[in-house]
């Protein structure tokens, strides 16, 4: 059994627990952008790589050929232990997706 990373890049404008849209802070986080610069990669590639190295199945959504290619390129580098731990500290225990316990309260239009 394997865990799948849902919304592996942190989502964008997904309602939080309060129902208000939350902006994706991960792609612009200084830790992520710094690690991306160190490896000559995009922030998205760093996030995908971290999840892969964590043992998760990662299914990033993209319709753009360039993004699909960049997502695949996350397979050909590794994060070192320091990078890995620095990303792990970004956990803030805040849901970035819809709360399944409040599913009926969302506008599904």
> How many residues are recorded in the chain?
109
| Sign (positive or negative) of CA dihedral 42, 43, 44, 48 | positive
Q: How many domains does the chain have?
A: 1
For position 46, what pLDDT does the model report?
97
Question: Is residue 63 included in any domain, yes or no?
Answer: yes
Question: Is residue 73 included in any domain, yes or no?
Answer: yes
For position 85, what pLDDT does the model report?
94
Contact 27, 77 (CB under 8 A): no
Question: Is residue 108 included in any domain, yes or no?
Answer: no
Question: Is residue 107 included in any domain, yes or no?
Answer: no
Strand-pair category, 14-15 with 57-58? unpaired
pLDDT tens track for 5-57 = 767 777 655 555 556 655 567 888 899 999 999 999 999 999 999 999 999 99
Give helix then strand counts, H and E, for the chain: 4, 4
Question: Is residue 15 included in any domain, yes or no?
Answer: no
Q: How far is CA 96 from the centre of its chain?
A: 10
Question: Is residue 98 included in any domain, yes or no?
Answer: no
Average model confidence (pLDDT) for the chain? 81
Domain region containing 31 = 26-91
Question: Is residue 10 included in any domain, yes or no?
Answer: no
């Amino acid at each position: 059994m394997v865990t799948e990373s849902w919304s592996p890049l942190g989502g964008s404008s997904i309602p939080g627990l309060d129902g208000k849209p939350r902006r994706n802070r991960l792609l612009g986080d200084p830790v992520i952008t710094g690690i991306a610069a160190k490896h000559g990669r995009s922030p998205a590639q760093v996030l995908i790589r971290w999840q892969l190295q964590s043992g998760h199945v990662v299914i990033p959504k993209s319709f753009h050929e360039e993004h699909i290619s960049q997502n695949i390129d996350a397979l050909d580098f590794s994060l070192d232990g320091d990078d890995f731990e620095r990303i792990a500290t970004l956990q803030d225990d805040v849901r970035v997706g819809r709360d399944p316990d409040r599913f009926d309260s969302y506008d599904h239009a």
